[in-house]
Chains A and B, each alone.
Chain A
Amino acid sequence: MGSARSPSSPRGRPGGPAGPRLGEARLLGNRLPNSQIFWLAFGSRLTISVALLPVLTLSRAGRDAWLASLMGFIPSAAIAWLVSYAAERFAGEGIAGQARRALGRIGGSLVVAVFLWSYLHLAAVLLREYAEAIVTIILPTTPVAAVLIVVGLLVAIAAEQDTPTLGRMASLVGPFMVLSILLIALLVTPELEMARLRPVLTSGARGLLSGVLVSSVWHTTVFWFPALAPSVLDMRSGRRTLLVAVASGSVSVSFISALAVSALTGDLAVKSSFPLFMVARLVSLGELVQRIDGVAVGAWGFGLIMTASLVLHSAAVALADLTGLPDHRRIVKPLTLLGVVLAMMTARDVIELRQFADARVLVPYVAAHVWLPTLILAAAARLRAGRTAGLR
């Protein structure tokens, strides 16, 4: 482990507790149990779906987005498995420790630097997307910067907390998001026409592949796992939980895609800036039950704060780990400021933001910035672990 203090425990106990210590750590609540890992991973995936539903709006899958999401489970699970591989091999290490043990000091530091940039950039993109949505939907004349600053402040406060605190927040926010989506689905039932999902596979194999890739790209949000690995209560079952969360995410995204297409039609759903919000706007059960679009915006808002603070927290922990800082909290505020400025600079307008999020740009970008370093780290960890076993 690097010299940074464990994010979960102020006393900095390295490694995952084993045996009798497991129960003790669970009772103390200073480590991430599986339920919190699930809600962190699942909630962060759900946030993107509630907001943009990229597999539908930013890929070529069209009305087959629901199928692409389901098929996307396989590559997404592979990514989640690879992302958490080094963490299990070098249990108890932070991301810098894992990378340095696998790739050496320079190589490891480089990989961590790439991860760090990706954390920051993801947080910036999330913040900007939310700010654009608020400005498009609710506050059209409010400057994006004002929204970013307010949300940034909230995110900074959350990111400063210890990892289990974020986990507890996720276990509150996650179910709220699920209930919100189910409520919208229930109330919009009269408007649903499942036949709109047909014909299937009109987008062809390339369209479906595009959807699978986009789905996998957004499942990559679980790449916070190696940074927070020292806080995981039980690494082996934690990795399994990560896979369960990815599977649940795939099913949920598939469900939301099908919901959007069967309510809005394939064409209007694909062209919607915020599909679930548009679905919520269709709810009209007499005079009483209308205008529940605030539920979608609220669910997204809570999810965004959770996800953005999780990613920023991971960035702060990774940076502290890399530089040997004793406490991640000291760098959260500067990182948040950086994230907010980056969010403002990441795109000139919403059109440019969408161009970046388009499959043709985002897939190669994420492949270069996350998938490749992850693969290198996992491969090196495998080789190093094998060599160690051979020496024994």
Chain B
Amino acid sequence: MLGELPASAEGRAARASTRTRAALARGVLAVVLWTASALAAVGCWDRHELPTLALATAVAFDEPPGAQGVLMTMQVAIPSRIAGAGGGVGAGGGAGGGTAPGMPFARTASGPQGPTTWVVGAPGRTVAEALERITLFSSRLPALAHLRVIVLGEELARSGVGTLLDALARERDFRRTAWVVVARGVPAYRVLELPNPLFASAAAGIAGQQETLAFRTALVLPRRLHAFMADYVEPGVDPVVPAVSFAHPVPADRALTPGGQAEPPALLAVEGTAVFRKGQLVGWLSPEETRALVLLKGLSRQFLLVTDCPGVKGAVSVNAIRFTTRRKLLPPRPAGGGSQASPSLPRFAVRVVVEGNLFEQTCLPPLDAMALRRVEERLAGKLEADIRRTLARLHGELRADAAGFGQQLYRAEPALWNKLSPHWRGLLPQIEVDVEVQVRIRRTGLITGEVEPRQ
């Protein structure tokens, strides 16, 4: 027994050593397997090094001249220049002219340290083909994941954007948070060339502008791609997006700039709203009509109202800080009720309550409490008239249901909607909408009276 003890201990030690070696081998095998797996997963097929990518921040879609399909233009950021660039000013230098037939241009837009973006485009029968052709003369792979703005050309929009939306919805790189605008009166690709003094690129400028306008005014109705698509697919509502164009500033005074200054670049101006009838652009709304549409749709935002002083000289500005819109579907008016609307058609009631603060007044004598009530009535009357005029244009002239009365009918009375929907556009001018607007001026700012010189 005593003699067996050391042998048994040796055996145990040997077995322990074998177990340790086996565990070590398993560990090494696991590390090798995991490393191989990790490399196989991401290292081989989908490797994208940042220096090999052309990061597109905006795209424009136009109708290609004399051809079918789409002319796709991308604004590509030049990362080394765009970082820290305080604003790209001035017309671009760089490469001008096309490099091949059918390729309209390749331009650069300048910043203080040189060009910050490269604008490049090519036509194709489909978006994918245009993108592939762009790749042919771009030294980097186009990457659309950082897209912030989509500009639609007017001609393309009039022809219809339905086929375009398929690519925008299907391709994983297109993000539905990009802003959509229509270039009015100018080719969409020109909008991408426009430098912006406050941003490093046109895309950043347009995106920044849309984000600001979305909350600060009702004269514009900024829409992201997803909102546009939602209105496109939903029954009983037509999509709208802002229209952008160029405004030319006054040239510099040569007496003040003796060295001479280049012609100032054009400014990007938002000019009302493009109205689509499902996929096709059918007309434009003015800024005031856009504000009426915003009130009809009940989209929350601030805006400014200006009107003449009641009975005296001067003007009053009221900053509308919030509003609520209540829309009701009313039962059809009984036959013989004196209405022009067909008795079988639904009626709608829209009640808007606007709450605002006195921003400025130049009335002489200054407004008192009674006069403020009259200002409220005047503003309400103006908004009511704006809304009625906008509805008449939308329903009568454009035959577009941008306010979504059909959608409201569909949600509340789907059976009735199914009956009316085939003829809805024809029925739109006959749809009766009762509009009532109330304006309430809640505060008069930091002063109550007027600022006047002491006698």
Residues of A within 8 A of B (CB): 136-143, 146-147, 149-150, 153, 191, 195-196, 198-199, 202, 264-265, 267-268, 278, 281-284, 286, 290
Q: Which of A195, A202, A267 contacts B233 (CB 8 A)?
A: A267
Which B387-435 residues have C-beta < 8 A from chain A? 410-412, 414
Q: Which of A140, A199, A281 contacts B414 (CB 8 A)?
A: A199
Do A139 and B233 have beta carbons less than 8 Å apart? no
- Say if the beta carbon of B40 comes within 8 Å of chain A: yes
Which B7-60 residues have C-beta < 8 A from chain A? 33-34, 37-38, 40-42, 44-46
Please measure, in the bound complex, the distance between the C-alpha atom of A137 and the C-alpha atom of B45, giving whole angstroms. 14
Query: With contacts A267-B234, A268-B233 known, is A147 near B41, CB below 8 A?
Result: yes
- Say if the beta carbon of B133 comes within 8 Å of chain A: no
Query: With contacts A142-B41, A146-B40 known, is A191 near B172, CB below 8 A?
Result: no
Select from chain A the residue with minimum beta-carbon distance to B410: A199
- Say if the beta carbon of B301 comes within 8 Å of chain A: no
- Say if the beta carbon of B226 comes within 8 Å of chain A: yes
Residues of chain A with a CB closer than 8 A to B234's CB? 196, 265, 267
Residues of chain A with a CB closer than 8 A to B224's CB? 284
Query: With contacts A282-B177, A282-B226 known, is A139 near B42, CB below 8 A?
Result: yes
5 new A-B pairs (CB below 8 Å) besides A138-B46, A139-B41, A281-B175?
A: A137-B172, A140-B46, A146-B41, A153-B37, A282-B226
Do A199 and B37 have beta carbons less than 8 Å apart? no
Residues of chain A with a CB closer than 8 A to B158's CB? none
Select from chain B the residue with minimum beta-carbon distance to A143: B45
- Say if the beta carbon of B176 comes within 8 Å of chain A: yes
Query: With contacts A198-B412, A199-B412, A199-B414 known, is A149 near B37, CB below 8 A?
Result: yes
Residues of chain A with a CB closer than 8 A to B42's CB? 139, 142
**From residue A146, how far is it (CB to closest CB) to chain B in Å?**
5
Q: Which of B33, B34, B230 contacts A268 (CB 8 A)?
A: B230
- Say if the beta carbon of B243 comes within 8 Å of chain A: no
Of the candidates A137, A264, A283, the one having the most CB atoms from chain B within 10 angstroms of its own CB is A264
**From residue A298, how far is it (CB to closest CB) to chain B in Å?**
15
- Interface residues of chain B: helix, strand, loop or mixed (majority): helix
Q: Which of A140, A153, A199 contacts B33 (CB 8 A)?
A: A153
Do B172 and A290 have beta carbons less than 8 Å apart? no
**From residue B148, how far is it (CB to closest CB) to chain A in Å?**
10
**From residue A260, how far is it (CB to closest CB) to chain B in Å?**
13
Query: With contacts A139-B45, A146-B45, A268-B230 known, is A284 near B177, CB below 8 A?
Result: yes
Please measure, in the bound complex, the distance between the C-alpha atom of A290 and the C-alpha atom of B145, giving whole angstroms. 12
Residues of chain B with a CB closer than 8 A to A141's CB? 45-46
Which B178-235 residues have C-beta < 8 A from chain A? 211, 224, 226, 229-230, 233-234
Task: Enumerate the 3 nearest inter-chain pairs by beta-carbon distance, A residue then B residue, closest first.
Answer: A198-B411, A284-B177, A199-B414
Do A150 and B233 have beta carbons less than 8 Å apart? no
Query: With contacts A137-B172, A143-B45 known, is A290 near B33, CB below 8 A?
Result: no
Query: With contacts A139-B42, A149-B40, A150-B37 known, is A199 near B411, CB below 8 A?
Result: yes
Do A282 and B176 have beta carbons less than 8 Å apart? yes
Residues of chain B with a CB closer than 8 A to A153's CB? 33-34, 37
Select from chain B the residue with minimum beta-carbon distance to A150: B37
Do A202 and B414 have beta carbons less than 8 Å apart? yes
Query: With contacts A268-B230, A282-B226, A284-B177 known, is A140 near B172, CB below 8 A?
Result: yes
Select from chain B the residue with minimum beta-carbon distance to A290: B177
Residues of chain A with a CB closer than 8 A to B34's CB? 153
Please measure, in the bound complex, the distance between the C-alpha atom of A274 and the C-alpha atom of B36, giving whole angstroms. 29
Residues of chain B with a CB closer than 8 A to A142's CB? 41-42, 44-46
Please measure, in the bound complex, the distance between the C-alpha atom of A198 and the C-alpha atom of B412, giving whole angstroms. 8
Select from chain B the residue with minimum beta-carbon distance to A139: B46
Please measure, in the bound complex, the distance between the C-alpha atom of A281 and the C-alpha atom of B224, giving whole angstroms. 13
14 sample A-B contacts, Cβ–Cβ < 8 Å, listed by A number: A142-B41, A143-B45, A146-B40, A146-B41, A147-B41, A149-B37, A150-B40, A150-B41, A153-B37, A199-B410, A268-B230, A284-B177, A286-B211, A290-B177
Please measure, in the bound complex, the distance between the C-alpha atom of A147 and the C-alpha atom of B265, giving whole angstroms. 51
Select from chain A the residue with minimum beta-carbon distance to B233: A267
Select from chain A the residue with minimum beta-carbon distance to B413: A199
Please measure, in the bound complex, the distance between the C-alpha atom of A191 and the C-alpha atom of B225, giving whole angstroms. 12
Please measure, in the bound complex, the distance between the C-alpha atom of A202 and the C-alpha atom of B412, giving whole angstroms. 11
Residues of chain B with a CB closer than 8 A to A146's CB? 40-41, 44-45
**From residue A283, how far is it (CB to closest CB) to chain B in Å?**
8
Residues of chain B with a CB closer than 8 A to A198's CB? 411-412
Residues of chain B with a CB closer than 8 A to A286's CB? 211
